[in-house]
Amino acid sequence: MGGHKRTKQQREEELVWIAEMHGADLSQREITAALSLSQVQICKDLKEIYRRWAAGDKTTLPVLKARLLAEIRGHKRLARKAWSDSLNPKRPLPRSK
């Protein structure tokens, strides 16, 4: 079953999205649903992303992973704070006269 052919421009744009979603720890199934691509295509695109990362400076892949993990930790920290703040009772706003 052949799907629609992507242009080079479309593929490059989707590779960026796939890398970001993969870095945000979304599963291939979630990425598939978000981009309306097949799981096989997502797998091929992830292989291409890793190939490109590895082809650059040998420190590129670990650096990119570290950046993504740091970003995820930051989001988790914000989410925990927001959750913690939501547990505190709200003070009523002062009424204006």
**14 part of a folded domain:** yes
**3 part of a folded domain:** no
**2 part of a folded domain:** no
Neighbours of 50 (CB within 10 A): 13
Q: Report the domain count for the chain.
A: 1
Neighbour-count burial of 31, counting CB atoms closer than 10 A to its CB (0-12 exposed, 13-18 middle, 19+ buried): buried
pLDDT of residue 1: 44
Identify the domain containing residue 25 by its residue range: 8-86
Please choose, from the candidates 56, 62, 49, the residue with its C-alpha nearest in 3D space to the C-alpha of residue 11.
49
**81 part of a folded domain:** yes
**95 part of a folded domain:** no
Q: Which parts of the chain fold into alpha helices (H)?
A: 8-23, 28-35, 39-55, 60-87
Tens-level pLDDT at each residue, the chain (97 residues)? 455 688 999 998 899 889 888 888 889 999 999 999 999 999 999 999 888 877 766 666 677 777 788 888 888 889 999 998 888 877 777 777 6
pLDDT of residue 59: 60
Entry pTM: 0.56
